[in-house]
C-alpha cells in the first residue's frame, strides 16, 4: 500500500484531474510546483507563495546537503518548519545538479563523487545517501538518485546511463523507509530513444514506486521531441500513480503535457523570468524593461488576481526594473507564479467539464495574439 494517496477525480481524453494526499496536506493535479531550491522560493515569503495558489513546492538535495546540511535542517524540525511551509514538499535528488558539474564530478556504480561549487570540498552522493538526506529534510516526496543523461548523446551511451539509473533506483527503493503520507518516485531516463524510454519505464514499474517522473527532457531537444518522448513513455507507467514531467516548462509545454496525461510539473522559469523583467500573461510574454511601458497606467494583466496587477501599473514595474530596485523582481515573481497557478486551475476545471480541447485552443489563440498595445496615461 502506497504511503501517498492519489485519486483520479476525472478525465478528458488522456488528461487527468486528480488529488495527491500527503502527510502535510493535499495538492490538486495537474499541479505546478514552485521551485524553492535552497529552502526558499526566491524573493517571496511562504505566505506569499501560498497566496499565488501554490500548494506544493520543490527543494533540492544537492544544494541543501551542502548548505546548511540536511542534518542542520533535521535539527530545526525538518524543511517544513525550517522554511515555514506547511504544505507538501518534493525534493529533487540532486542528480541533475551533480551531473551538470562536468569536470568536478566522477560517476561510478557506487554513486557520484563531486566537488562543491561553494567551497571545493569533496562529497559523495550514493542512492542510499540521497534517500537518507531527503528523509532528514522530511520531504513528502523523495526522488531516486538518477544519472541525468546529457543531450545530445548516442544511443549506446544513453542505454548505459539509463540502466545504471535503474540499478540506482532499485537501491533507493531498498533504502527508503515507508511512512504514511510519504512516497518515493522513480525517474524514467533514456534520452530521446523510444525503446530506451519504454525499457526504463517498464523497469521502474517492476521495482514499484509511489509515483513516476519523466526526467532527462527539456534539455535542448525541443518541444516536439519532448512531447513524443512523453507519448511513448506514459502508456508504460501505472495509470493509478501520479506522473511528473521534470523541469517543464513554458506555459505551452504545460498545456500540451497535461493533454497527454502528465499530472505534475516544476520549472524555474516563472521565478527566474520574474527576476529578469519577463512576465507571463494570457497574451504571451511581456518584457517590462521595454520603453513602451514607461507611461502605461494599466495593470500588467487586467483580470489577474495577484496583488501586483491589483495595486501597480506597468509604468511602475518598468521603473523598478530600470532603477534596479529589488521590489521589481519580487513583484514579477509573485505575478508569474500566480499566472502559472491560474493556468493550472483552468486546466483542472476544463478537464472536469470535458472542455480541455476548447481551453487549449483558447490558450493558444491568446498566446498568438500578443500583448495589448501600449497606452499612455
User: Which residue numbers are catalytic?
Assistant: 92, 266
Which backbone phi and psi does 229 adopt, to 5 degrees? -70, -35
Neighbouring C-beta atoms of residue 285, cutoff 10 Å: 15
Report helix, strand or coil for 46. Answer: helix
Residues 6+ apart with CB under 8 A from 368: 284
Element spanning 308, H or E: helix 307-311
For 49, what's the count of Cα atoms within 13 Å in the CB-facing half-sphere? 26
- Residue ranges with strand state E in 23-152: 25-29, 31-35, 57-60, 89-92, 105-107, 112-115, 122-125, 141-143
**Do residues 263 and 9 touch, judged by C-beta distance below 8 A?**
no
In the three-class reduction of DSSP (H, G, I as helix; E, B as strand; rest coil), residue 224 is classed as: helix
Identify the three-state secondary structure at position 178: coil
What does the block give as the cell for 245? 514531467
| Distance between CA atoms of residues 97 and 145, nearest Å | 11
Amino acid at each position: 500500500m502506497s504511503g501517498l494517496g492519489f485519486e483520479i477525480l476525472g478525465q478528458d481524453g488522456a488528461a487527468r484531474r486528480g488529488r495527491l494526499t500527503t502527510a502535510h496536506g493535499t495538492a490538486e493535479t495537474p499541479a505546478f510546483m514552485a521551485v524553492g531550491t535552497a529552502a526558499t522560493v526566491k524573493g517571496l515569503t511562504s505566505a506569499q507563495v501560498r497566496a499565488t495558489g501554490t500548494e506544493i513546492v520543490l527543494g533540492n538535495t544537492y544544494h541543501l546537503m551542502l548548505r546548511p546540511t540536511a542534518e542542520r535542517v533535521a535539527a530545526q524540525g525538518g524543511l517544513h518548519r525550517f522554511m515555514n511551509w506547511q504544505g507538501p514538499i518534493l525534493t529533487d535528488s540532486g542528480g541533475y545538479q551533480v551531473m551538470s558539474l562536468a569536470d568536478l564530478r566522477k560517476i561510478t556504480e557506487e554513486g557520484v563523487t563531486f566537488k562543491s561549487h561553494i567551497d571545493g570540498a569533496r562529497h559523495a552522493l550514493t542512492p542510499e545517501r540521497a534517500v537518507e538526506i531527503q528523509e532528514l529534510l522530511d520531504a513528502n516526496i523523495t526522488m531516486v538518485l538518477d544519472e541525468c543523461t546529457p543531450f545530445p548523446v548516442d544511443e549506446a551511451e544513453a542505454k548505459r546511463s539509463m540502466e545504471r539509473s535503474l540499478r540506482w533506483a532499485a537501491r533507493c527503493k531498498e533504502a527508503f523507509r515507508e511512512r504514511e503520507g510519504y512516497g518515493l518516485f522513480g525517474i524514467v531516463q533514456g534520452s530521446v530513444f523510444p525503446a530506451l524510454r519504454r525499457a526504463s519505464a517498464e523497469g521502474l514499474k517492476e521495482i514499484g514506486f509511489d509515483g513516476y517522473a519523466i526526467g532527462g527532457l527539456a534539455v535542448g531537444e525541443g518541444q516536439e521531441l519532448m512531447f513524443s518522448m512523453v507519448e511513448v513513455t506514459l502508456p508504460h507507467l501505472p495509470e493509478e500513480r501520479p506522473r511528473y514531467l521534470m523541469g517543464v516548462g513554458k506555459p505551452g509545454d504545460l498545456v500540451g503535457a497535461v493533454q497527454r496525461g502528465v499530472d505534475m510539473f516544476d520549472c524555474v522559469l516563472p521565478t527566474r523570468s520574474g527576476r529578469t523583467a519577463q512576465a507571463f500573461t494570457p497574451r504571451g510574454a511581456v518584457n517590462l524593461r521595454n520603453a513602451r511601458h514607461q507611461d502605461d497606467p494599466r495593470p500588467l494583466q487586467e483580470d489577474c488576481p495577484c496583488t501586483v496587477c491589483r495595486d501597480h501599473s506597468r509604468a511602475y514595474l518598468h521603473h523598478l526594473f530600470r532603477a534596479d530596485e529589488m521590489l521589481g523582481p519580487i513583484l514579477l515573481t509573485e505575478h508569474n507564479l500566480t499566472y502559472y497557478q491560474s493556468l493550472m486551475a483552468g486546466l483542472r476545471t476544463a478537464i472536469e467539464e470535458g472542455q480541455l480541447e476548447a481551453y487549449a485552443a483558447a490558450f493558444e489563440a491568446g498566446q498568438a495574439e500578443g500583448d495589448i498595445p501600449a497606452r499612455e496615461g
